[in-house]
Amino acid sequence: MANIVITGANRGIGLALVKSYLVSGDRVYALCRNPGQAEQLARLVDNSAGQLTLHPVDMADGASIDAVGQALGDTPVDVLLNVAGIIGGRTDSLANTSFSEDDFNDWRNAFEVMTIGPFRLTQALLPNLLAAQGKVMTVSTQIAASTWNHGGMYAYGATKAAVNRLMLSLAIDLKSQGISVAMVHPGYVQTDMGGPNAEITPQESAAGIKAVVDELTLETSGSFFKWNGELHPW
Ligand SMILES: NC(=O)c1ccc[n+]([C@@H]2O[C@H](COP(=O)([O-])OP(=O)(O)OC[C@H]3O[C@@H](n4cnc5c(N)ncnc54)[C@H](OP(=O)(O)O)[C@@H]3O)[C@@H](O)[C@H]2O)c1
């Protein structure tokens, strides 16, 4: 039984990951903004016999991130999955529109949620990760890669490219302490974000991400993977 921490756990890929780790018999700490409104998670808690607990964390709120570190105490963390994400405002091309201060505030929030938040959570749980020689997997996107030859989606692509670089740096810095760090493109997934016409189900994505986490070693730390286990160019 491993101890698993998952952000964005109340819906989409995060919820599918919660279910997948519960089926494997692992202990899951599910982080979400509003546990009181997380109905699917609440049902899972009722049937989990203590295998699942919910913790309020807003990835844009550093105090709530630090608080979950305190809530976990000296619990070893085998896997931290940074899943929470948002599009981060308008996705338009500058060729067709202009961006206002409101838009830039959306961008700032996107960086809080998808770039600074995962770093802060890794920092808050570092003693727990050290205790388990754990793994950190951050859900990124193919849009972060320089091989993604499309414009627009400025904030989303920039925050994910930034978190990829940030996680690579953490992989280098934490390798000597036995912690492996990597990033994964989850596929084009049928969630609120991906929409109903996306290519794979959240269950397929979660199963793939879980396998990528299982296979991650200190030797492959710092890599950007696809959900199917292949390396993603970036
Ligand atoms: N779906 C795809 O095709 C696709 C493709 C590439 C990458 N991704 C990435 O995969 C990850 C999961 O996406 P998804 O498709 O599952 O999206 P989703 O269904 O829209 O779910 C997003 C999750 O992130 C949470 N979240 C948003 N802002 C948050 C905040 N400030 N603090 C804490 N949690 C917050 C949401 O919680 P609330 O319910 O509270 O809003 C929700 O649990 C994201 O990082 C996304 O960028 C998805």
Say what the pLDDT of residue 22 is.
98
**Measured between alpha carbons, how far is residue 144 from residues 127, 155, 184, 188, 220 in Å?**
29, 10, 11, 14, 19
Q: Give pLDDT tens digits for 160-170.
A: 999 999 999 99
The neighbouring-strand residues paired with 102 are none
194 Cβ closer than 6 Å to some ligand 1 atom: yes
Model pTM score: 0.98
Give distance in angstroms: CA of 176 to centre of ligand 1: 31
2 Cβ closer than 6 Å to some ligand 1 atom: no
Say what the pLDDT of residue 20 is.
98
60 Cβ closer than 6 Å to some ligand 1 atom: yes
Q: Residue ranges of the chain with pLDDT lower than 50?
A: none
Render the burial of 150-164: b for 16+ CB within 10 Å, e for the rest.
Answer: eeebbbbbbbbbbbb
**Helix intervals (H) in the chain:** 12-23, 39-46, 62-72, 101-111, 117-124, 126-132, 154-174, 202-215
The rounded distance, in Å, linking the Cα atoms of 221 and 53 is 28
Considering only CA atoms, which residue is closest to atom 21 of ligand 1?
A: 12
Say what the pLDDT of residue 5 is.
99
**Measured between alpha carbons, how far is residue 41 from residues 30, 80, 232 in Å?**
8, 18, 31
Say what the pLDDT of residue 222 is.
98
* Ligand 1 site-directed mutation target among 143, 191, 203, most atoms within 8 Å of CB: 191
Which residue type, as a one-letter code, is found at position 108?
A: R
192 Cβ closer than 6 Å to some ligand 1 atom: yes
Give distance in angstroms: CA of 74 to centre of ligand 1: 28
| Number of helical (H) and strand (E) elements in the chain, helices listed first | 8, 7
Helix (H, G, I), strand (E, B) or coil at 61: coil
* Ligand 1 site-directed mutation target among 5, 6, 10, 13, most atoms within 8 Å of CB: 13
Say what the pLDDT of residue 104 is.
98
Say what the pLDDT of residue 7 is.
98
Considering only CA atoms, which residue is closest to atom 35 of ligand 1?
A: 84
Say what the pLDDT of residue 41 is.
98
Say what the pLDDT of residue 147 is.
95
